[in-house]
Amino acid sequence: MDKYNAKHEYQIRAKRYSQQFNKEDHLYNILSNLRLVAFLGIILGAILYYFGYRIFGSWFSVCALVIFFIFIVQHEKVRKRKEVAFYLAGINRQALDRITGKWVQFTDKGKEYVDQEHQYSIDLDIFGQASVFQWINNTFTFLGRKFLKNALIEPEKEILKIKERQAAINELADKLDWRQHFLAEGSSIKNGLKNPESVLKWAENENYIFRRPWLIVVIRLISAATVVSLLLPFINIRFLYLTGILLLIQLILFLIGLRFHTNANELTYLHKDTILTFQKLLTQIEREKFAAKYLSELKSSLTDSNGNYASKQINELSFIFDIMTFKNSPLIYFILNIIFLLDYHCMFALEKWKGKSGHSLRTWLAVIGRWEELSSLATIKYDNPDWCFPRFTISNQNLSAQAMGHPLLFSEARVCNDLNIKGSGKVLLITGSNMSGKSTLLRTVGLNLVLAYTGAPVCASGFTCSIMDIYTSMRVNDNLEKNISSFYAELLRIKTIIQAASKSNSILFLLDEIFKGTNSKDRHMGAAAVIRTLSTMGAVGLVSTHDLELADLEHDKDIDLENYHFSESYANNQIIFDYRLCAGVSKTTNAIYLMKMVGIDCMKPDIMT
């Protein structure tokens, strides 16, 4: 990808599409007025015809009618261009908000996916306010959101597949214009975030009555005979009786099948707009060329055994839908059924389509969802061209990062650090004062690993890791409903991590202030026991703590532990944090100073506020 400025590109696009929207809106209003003038022209021609100017009046009305239909067609084209420009302008304004740190105001936070029992999603801000999902989500369908959710909490564990996803995300990052038009088209879907299972069941449900060969033959013969009988009276008036009998038979058949047809029509109208919008999205995928293997395989799944693309198959369904819309004109609908048994022929065509393509709709919607997921992750790469794609190693418990920062922090406020964890049982103990950056470092490690396993780039200049299961214990709260205290809740979380470590030799744990809910003596003994247990089991991880005595575990021969710390300085009665990770144990504290800043003087016998 050539060097570019993402913010500048979004600004240019937002301005361009806003101007295009205003232009199309102006033209839309002009065409509305011209359409009205053409309609008045039709009426004027009819008036002229009425007052004796028959030739002139007829030609005037015909010309006005032609012009009226031309304006209708052009009006619809402008409406579509206006709608696309509107969505594209909004997409680029949202992209600017994302890149300037205003994404925390986005409304879709994935709150329904918050799971207190998940092994890391709560602690690493995967869902909810100021979360990864809120930051990157560009999905517009139920399946797209589901796939993005799964990518974040059920990460891929096969290195080859992750590399394929990396190539796909890298390619999509380059296709900014394609991604934005794909998103603009998808944004127009009504009820897109609704579970599509009802649509899929409709497509997969088979009505065997309208698949019976004998019924198809009988209906076609009767309707053909009726059409022929309508011509016979012009040859001999006696055939009028035959015509009447056939029309009566078709009326009876029409009334018999009305219950089935009405139900089918209601379901068809319910899903019509959604399915036709999916057709446009599938067409965009089919027309684009993709080099990445993962994308090519997804695209190939849109083709049936005869080489027909999904969009073509949906186009056939669209034609059936168009014929069925005659129901909106009751008189025409009744005449077409009495003469041609239209409903039966539509049901035959619909069931034929379902038999051939109905079961493929699930695959097609899944492909669209995958593209939404990958496009959301590709946004990370485009917006952060300096971030790197991780390298993966087959060795267990390996993490090496250079200039690694927290992905959710605004770039101007982000401080990056190097980190190395190598070897089974390696533990990094992080000490430091309050607000110095200990918890942020733990989340930085966890979040970047999650992004790495999705195939996305990570916030680092270099990043090498092995595949590890991530477990955290950072935000543990009490549960009044289950009568569980915060301390006991933390014990249960630690138990889960130890059980996982006993079953797997590839665990990374992130523990923040272990057992802070109990007294200092028990806290120290418990924390030391947890670290020793996990390390001897071969798990690796980071532990943040204020308990400086835990640093002595570095001398324990049974534990592979290294001490690191954050420090601060003081100037003009202000605490200054540099958020730089340094080797060794912290030598500073700031709790008393912070308490004094809020009016609590610990040096006095009686605390005054």
Q: What is the CATH number of the domain that holds 584?
A: 3.40.50.300
Q: Would you tell me the crossing angle of helices 54-99 and 176-187 to the nearest 10 degrees?
A: 120
| Half-sphere exposure of residue 22: CA atoms within 13 angstroms, side-chain side | 5
pLDDT-flagged residues of the chain (< 70): 1-3, 192, 261-271, 328, 478-484, 573, 588-609
Distance CA 575, CA 582 (A): 18
Residue 250 corresponds to which tokens in the numbers above?
């078709």
3-class DSSP assignment, residue 559: coil
Quick one: CA dihedral 421, 165, 133, 460, positive or negative? positive
Q: Which residues pair with 542 in a beta bridge?
A: 428, 510
Say which residues have a Cβ less than 8 Å from residue 389's Cβ, sequence separation at least 6: 166, 170, 457, 458
Shared domain for 218 and 357, answered yes or no, is yes
Inside any domain, residue 361: yes
Q: Which residues pair with 458 in a beta bridge?
A: 388
Shared domain for 144 and 275, answered yes or no, is no
Q: Is 403 exposed, middle or buried (0-12, 13-18, 19+ CB in 10 A)?
A: middle
3-class DSSP assignment, residue 428: strand
Q: Which residues pair with 428 in a beta bridge?
A: 542, 562
**pLDDT attached to residue 480:** 61
Distance CA 15, CA 17 (A): 6
Element (H, E) at 571: strand 568-571
Inside any domain, residue 162: no
Shared domain for 463 and 544, answered yes or no, is yes
Query: Nearest-CA neighbor of 34 among 83, 72, 62, 82?
Result: 72
Range of the domain at 21: 6-153
Shared domain for 577 and 438, answered yes or no, is yes
Inside any domain, residue 172: no
**pLDDT attached to residue 589:** 60
Shared domain for 315 and 414, answered yes or no, is no
Shared domain for 414 and 316, answered yes or no, is no
Inside any domain, residue 269: yes
**pLDDT attached to residue 237:** 77
Sheet holding 462-465, edge to edge: 391-392, 462-465, 398-404, 417-422
**pLDDT attached to residue 608:** 43
| Residue written as token pair 């665990």 | 507
Query: Left if phi > 0, otherwise alpha if psi is -120 to 50, otherwise beta: which for 382?
Result: alpha
Shared domain for 279 and 365, answered yes or no, is yes
Q: Report H helices in 188-309.
A: 197-204, 213-231, 240-287, 293-300
- The counts of H helices and E strands in the chain are 18, 12
- Which of 153, 170, 186 marks a domain boundary? 153
Shared domain for 363 and 406, answered yes or no, is no
Pairing state of beta strands 568-571 and 462-465? unpaired
Query: How many structural domains compose the chain?
Result: 3
Query: Nearest-CA neighbor of 284 among 365, 169, 190, 368?
Result: 368
Inside any domain, residue 230: yes
Shared domain for 343 and 457, answered yes or no, is no
Shared domain for 405 and 554, answered yes or no, is yes
3-class DSSP assignment, residue 417: strand
**pLDDT attached to residue 1:** 52
Shared domain for 556 and 520, answered yes or no, is yes
Residue 199 sits at the vertex; the CA angle it makes with 195 and 204, to the nearest 5 degrees, is 130
Shared domain for 222 and 302, answered yes or no, is yes
Q: Is 483 exposed, middle or buried (0-12, 13-18, 19+ CB in 10 A)?
A: exposed
Inside any domain, residue 557: yes
Q: What is the DSSP letter of 484?
A: B
Distance CA 452, CA 411 (A): 19
Distance CA 414, CA 419 (A): 16
CB under 8 A, 24+ apart: contacts of 238-244: none
Inside any domain, residue 377: no
Q: What is the DSSP letter of 409?
A: S
Decide: 313 and 360 in contact? Cβ < 8 Å: yes
What does the longest C-alpha to C-alpha distance in the chain come to?
A: 121
pLDDT digits (tens, 9 = 90+) for 456-471: 999 999 999 999 999 9
| Residue written as token pair 């080489």 | 307
Residue 158 corresponds to which tokens in the numbers above?
């096969």
pLDDT digits (tens, 9 = 90+) for 217-266: 998 999 998 888 888 777 777 778 888 888 898 888 888 877 776 666 66
Distance CA 410, CA 99 (A): 8
**pLDDT attached to residue 478:** 57
Query: Nearest-CA neighbor of 393 among 425, 428, 422, 426?
Result: 422
**pLDDT attached to residue 49:** 85
Decide: 397 and 426 in contact? Cβ < 8 Å: yes
Decide: 164 and 293 in contact? Cβ < 8 Å: yes
Residue type, 441: L
- Which of 371, 399, 414 marks a domain boundary? 371
- Which of 153, 170, 188 marks a domain boundary? 153
Inside any domain, residue 493: yes
